[in-house]
């Protein structure tokens, strides 16, 4: 094999697989996929395919950081690699594991108004159950979210995951507040550009994402994305129609979440203004 002397080699920018410098840690059903795809509009962002689940699954975590790195996309130096695995947020071991990999990593947490998130979660679970062997007619959201005596079932998973302060405290015990950006998922739906501009600043990216990257699709009822190389809407499983929920139950849940939301606001030092 003939080898050119080192000084004759042409220098091309070198692509390689790098560990992420930013992670979308959750929350599920708050727009984690939309957020990742929207950030990918930026030329300095590369994204991992799928959900990697390295830090939350012991079988994956035990494979080591090199296994994780090989799940990452090719990137050039100066680019930022991002992955999203929404269950990181609620898994107790994850903050310390991420910190052990990179103590200065940037974390993105996308949240939505908790009752809407719970209904979205229910809608997804029901859609998934519909494809599994039937175990009787599906229960309504109201039946699952409330006990027979009408009190809120805080341990119904879609409700529990919306109690954000139960999980955020662990992250703030490990990471500094400045390393964590809280993304408003309801605003990402209505006005993606304003939210993405905050994120570009947080990630120290030059402002590149603008109105021209989005167009509203009436049929889907959501914004779709485009740039020089892509033009796409998110899949049908993103932006499902939610079942109608009894307004009295919505009110009861809003009351239930009111104090939990206050605790969350106190921990993050931000008031997201959710109704109660
Ligand atoms: P719904 O399907 O309940 O409306 P995740 O990717 O974390 O599972 O979040 C899914 C949610 O992303 C959807 O919940 C939807 O509301 C939200 N979303 C935000 N922007 C969107 C977009 N442009 N297209 C589709 N869904 C979007």
Burial of 198 per CB tally in 10 Å (0-12, 13-18, 19+): middle
Distance 145 CA to ligand 1 centre (A): 21
What pLDDT digit, counting tens, does each position of 122-177 carry?
A: 999 999 998 887 778 899 999 999 999 999 999 999 999 999 999 999 999 999 99
* 8-state DSSP, 21: S
pLDDT tens per residue across span 73-82: 999 999 999 9
Q: Can you give the C-alpha Rg of the chain in angstroms?
A: 21
> Are 194 and 213 in contact, with CB atoms under 8 Å apart?
no
Residue nearest to atom 4 of ligand 1 (CA): 239
Mode of pairing for the β-strands spanning 22-26 and 80-84: parallel
Interval 175-213: pLDDT, tens = 999 999 999 999 999 999 999 999 999 999 999 999 999
Tell me the C-alpha distance between 255 and 159, whole Å.
Answer: 13
Query: In ligand 1, which atom is closest to the CA atom of 119?
Result: 3
Which tokens in the block code for residue 212? 């021209």
Distance separating the N- and C-terminal Cα atoms of the chain: 72
Ligand 1, residues 25, 29, 236: which to mutate, most atoms within 8 A of Cβ? 29
* C-alpha of residue 31 to centroid of ligand 1, in Å: 4
Read off the pLDDT band of 105 (50, 70, 90): very high
CA angle 126, 83, 13 (to 5 degrees): 150
Per-residue pLDDT at 2: 64
Could you give the CA distance from residue 178 to residue 175 in angstroms, rounded to a whole number? 8
Digit-coded pLDDT (tens) for 26-35 = 999 999 999 9
Which of 141, 184, 209, 238 gets mutated to test ligand 1 (max ligand atoms within 8 A of its CB)?
Answer: 238
Question: Residue 183 phi/psi, 5° resolution?
Answer: -100, 135
Which residues, in sequence order, are CB contacts of 125 under 8 Å at separation 6+?
157, 158
| Atom 20 of ligand 1: nearest residue by CA position | 189
Instruction: Look at residue 14 and tell me whether its pLDDT is greater than 90.
Output: no
Encode 142-172 in three state secondary structure.
HHHHECCCCCECCCCHHHHCCCCHHHHHHHH
Among 30, 34, 188, which is best to mutate for testing ligand 1, by the most ligand atoms less than 8 A from CB? 34
Q: How far is CA 257 from the centre of its chain?
A: 21
| Helix spans in the chain (H) | 32-39, 58-61, 65-70, 94-101, 114-131, 141-145, 157-160, 165-174, 185-190, 192-202, 247-268
Residues with CB under 6 A from ligand 1: 28-34, 86, 120, 123, 188-189, 222-223, 234, 238-240
236: number of Cβ within 10 Å: 9
Binding site for 3'-phosphoadenylyl sulfate: which residues? 29-33, 112, 120, 223, 238-242
pTM check: above 0.90: yes
pLDDT of residue 21: 98
Instruction: Give the ipTM of the model, two decimals please.
Output: 0.99
Q: Which residues are catalytic?
A: 29
């Amino acid at each position: 094999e003939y080898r050119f002397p080192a000084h004759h080699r042409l220098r091309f920018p070198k692509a390689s697989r790098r560990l992420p410098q930013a992670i979308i840690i959750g929350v599920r059903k708050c727009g984690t996929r939309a957020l990742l795809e929207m950030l990918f509009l930026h030329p300095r962002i590369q994204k991992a395919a799928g959900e990697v689940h390295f830090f939350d699954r012991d079988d994956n975590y035990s494979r080591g950081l090199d296994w994780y790195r090989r799940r990452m996309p090719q990137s050039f130096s100066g680019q930022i690699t991002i992955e999203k695995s929404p269950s990181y947020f609620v898994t107790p071991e994850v903050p310390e594991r991420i910190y052990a990999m990179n103590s200065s990593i940037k974390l993105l947490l996308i949240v939505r108004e908790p009752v809407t998130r719970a209904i979205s979660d229910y809608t997804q679970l029901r859609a998934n159950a519909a494809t599994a062997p039937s175990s009787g007619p599906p229960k309504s959201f109201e039946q699952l979210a409330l006990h027979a005596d009408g009190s809120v079932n805080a341990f119904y998973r879609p409700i529990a995951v919306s109690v954000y302060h139960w999980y955020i405290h662990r992250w703030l015990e490990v990471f500094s507040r400045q390393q964590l950006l809280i993304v408003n998922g309801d605003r990402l739906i209505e006005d993606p550009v304003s939210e993405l501009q905050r994120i570009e600043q947080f990630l120290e990216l030059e402002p590149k994402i603008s109105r021209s990257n989005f167009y509203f699709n009436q049929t889907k009822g959501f914004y779709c994305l485009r740039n020089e190389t892509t033009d796409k809407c998110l899949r049908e499983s993103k932006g499902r129609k939610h079942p109608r929920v009894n307004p009295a139950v919505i009110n009861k849940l809003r009351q239930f979440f009111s104090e939990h939301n206050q605790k969350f606001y106190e921990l993050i030092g931000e008031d997201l203004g959710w109704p109660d």
